[in-house]
Amino acid sequence: MEVRTLDYHTAGEPLRIIISGMPEIPGDSMLARRRYMRDQLDHYRRFLMLEPRGHADMYGAVMTPPVSADGDVGVLFLHNEGYSTMCGHGIIALVTAGLEHGLFPVDPGDVRIDTPAGRISARANIDAAGGVESVSFRNVPSFILEENLPVEVAGMTVRCTIAFGGAFYAYVDAAELGFKLVPSEAPGLIGLGRQIKQAVTEQYSIHHPDGDEALNFLYGTIFVLQGERQFHSRNACVFADGELDRSPTGTGVSGRAAIHYARGDIGLGQELLIDSIIGSSFRVRCLEESRVGSLQAVIPEVTGSAHILGRHEFFLDQRDPLSDGFMIR
C-alpha cells in the first residue's frame, strides 16, 4: 500500500486529504459510498487516521467523483471512530487545497461538493495576491430537533438542545457545567462530552425528519460559552470517539445559527462570530429560511480559513505488526 496526502489545517483542526493510492469507491450516492468504504475499505481509514501515522484527533478526507450531474467533487470524511456525514472545516480546507493544487476543476466562485449530508456550495474569497484568503460555504438546511432536553449524566441533570447542521449535536451551556472553554480543560471536556453523548443516545431517539436513516445518530457534544459582546461566543466540540475539535466546528456553528434564529436572537444576514477552544474563529449567518419535514430550518453560510501543512507519502510494510493502527486516548 502506498498513499499520498496533502495535509491542511482549518482554524487549527487538521485535514489529511488523500490525493492518490485509494481504490475506486462505488455507489450512486455519497451515503452509499460512505457505507462501502466503511464496510470494505476501513483499513485505509485506520492506516491514515490512527497511530503511528495519525493520532487520536486526526481527521481526513477522501475525494471521489461527484454523484450529481453538475457537481465538481464528492467527499467522504474520516476520523478516529468512523465516517462523518458532513464537515465544515473539511469543506474549507478541501476547497482551499483544490484551488491551490488543482485537485479538481473548479470555478472559485461556485464550488459544488457532494457530501453524505447533501450538496454543499462554496466560494473562495480571493486576496489581492490571488491566493485563497478564506472560504465561505452554504450548508445543508439546519434546524433544532429538540429544545431543552433533560438527560441524566453522572448523577446530575444536563439540559441539551439537539440541533442539526450536517450532523446532530447536543448543545450544552459550558458555564452551567463549570467550564471556561480553555485548553487546560481539555480532559474534563472530553470526559463529560463523551458521557453526555452516550446519555443522549441512550435516553433519546435521534431522527432526521426528511433524510436517510444513516443520518440518525448523535455525532457529538458542543459546549457553548456566551461572550461578553453580543453575537460573539465560544464553542468546544467533542465528537467521534472523544475527539476535541480545535476549530469552532463548521457543522456545529451551523446548528448554532439555527438555534439562535429560532429563538429570535438573530435575523437573516446577522453574523455570529464563534471562537474555538484555541481562539480561532468562524463566522456564520443565516442566508434564508427553509423547512425540513414539518420543522423550521435555515440555510447557514460559514466562513473560515485553511492553510497547508505539508505533503506525505505513506507506505505499508507488510512485516509491520502495527499496520492496522492503534489509538491511545
Which residues are designated catalytic?
A: 87
Please give the Cα distance from 130 to 105 (Å, whole number).
17
Please give the Cα distance from 225 to 5 (Å, whole number).
35
For residue 148, give Cα distances in angstroms to 161, 162, 170, 171.
5, 8, 10, 9
Locate cell 468546544: which residue? 236
Question: Which is nearest to 208 in space by CA: 151, 299, 292?
Answer: 292
At CA 157, angle to CA 230 and CA 196, rounded to 5? 75
At CA 192, angle to CA 188 and CA 193, rounded to 5? 110
Residue spans of alpha helices (H) in 41-145: 42-49, 88-101
Locate cell 441533570: which residue? 157
Task: Collect all residues with Cβ–Cβ distance below 8 Å to 213 and sequence separation of at least 6.
Answer: none
Locate cell 464537515: which residue? 87
Task: Collect all residues with Cβ–Cβ distance below 8 Å to 157 and sequence separation of at least 6.
Answer: 150, 151
Q: Which three cell numbers stand for residue 6?
A: 496533502
